Structure 1
Amino acid sequence: MNYQKLKWFSIPFVIILTLIITGFMYLNSLRAVANQEAIQKCEQIEECIKHEINKCIIDRDEYEKGDQYTRNLLDEEDPSIRYMCQLLGVKIGGG
């Protein structure tokens, strides 16, 4: 009689345990996907920053070589790009 009670108790226990383990595996896979997406976004941001640094360097060279018209255009450039370049330590002529 004791074995019969144990049998009926163990079946739901095994099912619940299996569901819990499966749930943890699923959550872990979701976390891995989220981590991969975050890494891709960071890589995109890094590429954007590299592009802006190169733009600052090119702009500085154009500024130093350019005529007054070119200098005026570069001085009116988007201040956020100029500020980001300053934060990154890239100096732009005239700004």
Structure 2
Amino acid sequence: MLPLFDARIEIHTADALQWLANSALQFDLVFVDPPYDLGLAEPACAALEERAMLAADAWIYVESRRHAEDPVVPSNWQLHREKTGGDICARLFRREEI
């Protein structure tokens, strides 16, 4: 028996920013969870939008440190839910078509 999503999931292990620059895929759901202190969340979020890699109504999950500045995300990403725990702040955004 095949796992539930076996035919619909691909996992890539690579430097995310380099991979984003060379991919033509489009996503419905994205997890942005880079090492917190390297400042990678904002460039990853910008690349997803600038390269048209998100479906019109995609969901984007972004994690950051709880007490750090909120990561800047594209203006058409609307905050749907936010949760904190320990040193983590998790935000779920819904993309709106521009």
Sort the TM-score into its range (normalised by shorter chain).
under 0.3
Q: What TM-score do you get using the length of structure 1 for normalisation?
A: 0.26
Greater share of helix residues, 1 or 2?
A: 1
Greater share of strand residues, 1 or 2?
A: 2
Structure of higher CA gyration radius: 1
Q: What TM-score do you get using the length of structure 2 for normalisation?
A: 0.26
